[in-house]
Amino acid sequence: MPVQKASATLADPAFTIPPVPTGGPSAGINWLRRHVARFANGAEHDRRRLQVTSILATVDLAGLRRLAAEHTRAVLDDADGRPVDLMAQVARVVPIDVLVAALGAPSVRASAVAVAAKAYQPGSGPEEPADEAVRELVEAFGGTPDESVAAKIALLVQACDATAGLVGNAALAMLRADTNRPVETIVAETLLQDPPVRMTRRLAAKTGTVVAVDLATSGLPFGAGPHQCPGRDHATAITIGILESVEGYQLTDLNINYEPSTALRIPAKLVIVR
């Protein structure tokens, strides 16, 4: 797949979002793809994106940060001194839980969001379990598979892997550091030096070719142009809240493996102990 530089490609109308598959159940992963801003272009994208940004505008960032810190401390306190896998027990759970709380949908399970996220990008994961997960999420948001429900599900699904990766990469930078630096600085540096989202895809209108757009070295960790991630401040607030609660902990193993992915950089496991 040809690789394009992000700064020019993401703002160029000649590069659009590739079409998503048709078919599938009425409230499955293909339905979700076809009804969200992430996989739309033009006026359809603009309308759907406004739904997401309107939802995000109601979320208090300071409250999100505080809630993330509280949830993380609860996990660490429950461990009662035992080692904690920061990825499985915090990074993969806390961001979704606090966003769910902000959206007022307490019946949403983080595990269902994770299953849908794994298959969200076409061709990235098994679709049958993702169909079931999406059905569960539609029910959690009232049971009507419309664009407003799709926007809420998309907000969670798109935050799932990216925020987990940001938490993991920033925590790793913090826990490996010899000096105490502000958590905000560590997160900002991680976004530029070790961003969780490494690439995205666009369709070149002239050639009909799908190209990879490099985000890892572009200084644009949240993308750019019409599809720039609208949740930057929210992901950052959640990550800072989590890291504030992890200060004073240390890694039990400095040899870190990453989840297998060309588009994402996410530590597979980070075991920490006070």
In angstroms, the CA 143 to CA 146 distance is 9
Residue 1: predicted pLDDT: 61
Q: Are 216 and 4 in contact (CB under 8 A)?
A: no
Q: What is the mean pLDDT of residues 147-167?
A: 97
Q: What is the mean pLDDT of residues 46-55?
A: 96
| Per-residue model confidence (pLDDT) at position 4 | 64
Alpha carbons 266 and 166: distance in angstroms, whole number: 8
Bridge partners of 185, per DSSP, are: none
**Which has the closest alpha carbon to 145: 156, 135, 155, 130?**
135
Instruction: Give the pLDDT of residue 8.
Output: 85
Domains, the chain: 3-18+25-273 (1.10.630.10)
Tell me the whole-structure pTM to 2 decimals: 0.95
Q: How confident is the model at residue 124 (pLDDT cuts 50, 70, 90)?
A: confident
pLDDT level of residue 7 (50, 70, 90 thresholds): confident
| pLDDT attached to residue 19 | 93
Residue 43 burial (C-beta neighbours within 10 Å; 0-12, 13-18, 19+): exposed
Would you call 8 helix, strand, or coil by DSSP? helix
Predicted confidence (pLDDT) at residue 6 exceeds the cutoff of 90: no
Beta bridge partners of 6: none
What is the C-alpha separation between 130 and 122, in angstroms, rounded? 11
Residue 218 has pLDDT above 90, yes or no: no
Reading the block at residue 73, the tokens are: 């401390």
